Chains A and B, each alone.
Chain A
Amino acid sequence: MNKLLHNKWIILIFRFYIGSVFIYAGVIKIIDPVDFASQIQNYQILPYFTTNFFAIIIPWIEIFTGVGLIFGIFVDGSSLIISGMMFIFILAISQALLRGLSIECGCFGKTASMVGINTLIRDIFWFLIATFICFRKNKSFEIFPKSV
């Protein structure tokens, strides 16, 4: 594991991969925020009156963190935010599964799959990759802050 954490190419590939996923996810949601707000409401976690606010800000957080990872800007913060978001999504999906809610994931707008074990596994995978980036030992290919 320590070797992997020092491998600048593995880290770069992971950054590009997760960054691309999040930029795509953010753009899709910005195109149709009404639909995304509805999908947030379907999870039945947040108070109804807050769902629009989160539907507005989450896509932009996704885009900025995705751009940050790809271009090597604020990689620490971007990876931490993505890890945190994935952790929250994992909890949200888990509770939806436990409650038997048959709802859309809301991950990629209307093209998204329904909430299920496969979406849970996928989110765990992305959580692990984002966390890996947080703990990277090699900070090559990072523009700002400049790598030591």
Chain B
Amino acid sequence: MKIKNFINQTVIIISISIFLSLFFNFLRSSNSLPLVAKKNIIAGDLTTVDSLLSIDTILFEPILINLKIAKSMYDKEIVFIDSRDELEFNKLHILNAKLAPANPGEILRWVTEDDPVITYCSGGECNLSLELARVLMGEDWGFSKVFVYDGGISEWENAAYPTSKLNE
């Protein structure tokens, strides 16, 4: 087993793969990815909130929102959906938030497809809320306005906003 063979071949394969993958990604017209993933988080004041919730505003994909906008929407009693599992939900969740059901369609027990909803998870690198939001706005469920509160429960709790635990 010659180590040098392994290393040389590994370097060649990975180099060619990286070059061709980036080249193909650059060329493809649909489904290409930006090289650096960036979260586009909407910030703003009450005017922004009203604009986002306006019937005239059409969303084609979930919108990420910051703490201030999330709190404003919370005060307007927009439904929050917790996309984590039951254990984490029971430990701590945003007050009055609903735990995402296994079948996303069951969210229709609380809202209609035209009502705005906000998904969230633990914050930081957690992507479950965005995943759920994409499913809700996808072909199967057709929700028209889904927002993703990117800061998650950790930021909400740090801001001392209303939370709840199991048995409270």
Query: A residues bordering B, Cβ < 8 Å?
Result: 30-34, 37-38, 41-42, 44-53, 55-57, 59-61, 63-65, 68, 74, 76-78, 80-81, 100, 102-103, 134-135, 145
Give chain B's interface residues, CB within 8 Å of chain A. Answer: 1-2, 5-6, 8-14, 16-18, 20-22, 24-25, 31-39, 85, 87-88, 124-128, 130-131, 134
Asked if B37 and A52 sit within 8 Å, CB to CB, the answer is: yes
The residue that A65 contacts in the complex, of B6, B13, B130, with Cβ under 8 A, is: B13
Q: Which residues of B contact A34 (CB under 8 A)?
A: 31, 33
The secondary-structure label for the interface of chain B is helix
Q: Which residues of B contact A80 (CB under 8 A)?
A: 6, 9-10
Closest beta carbon of chain A to B122's beta carbon, Å: 9
A54 to B14, CA, bound (A): 12
A134: min CB distance to chain B, Å: 7
**Which residues in A have their C-beta under 8 angstroms from that of B32?**
33
A56 & B39 in contact (Cβ 8 Å cutoff): no
- Give complex CA distance A84, B77 in Å: 49
A interface majority secondary structure? helix
Whole-angstrom distance between the alpha carbons of A81 and B39 in the complex? 31
User: Is the beta-carbon distance between A56 and B22 smaller than 8 angstroms?
Assistant: yes
| B25 nearest CB neighbor, chain A only | A56
Q: Which residues of chain A have C-beta atoms less than 8 A from B6's C-beta?
A: 76-77, 80, 134
Contact status A77-B31, CB under 8 Å: no
Is B13 in contact with A61, judged by CB distance below 8 angstroms?
yes
Q: CB distance B33 to A37 under 8 Å?
A: yes
- Please state if A48 and B37 are interface contacts (CB–CB under 8 Å): yes
Complex A-B: 9 CB contacts under 8 Å: A42-B127, A42-B128, A45-B125, A56-B22, A61-B14, A76-B2, A76-B9, A81-B13, A103-B128
Measured between alpha carbons, how far is A48 from B37 in the docked complex, in Å?
6
Interchain CA distance A53-B5 in the complex, whole Å = 27
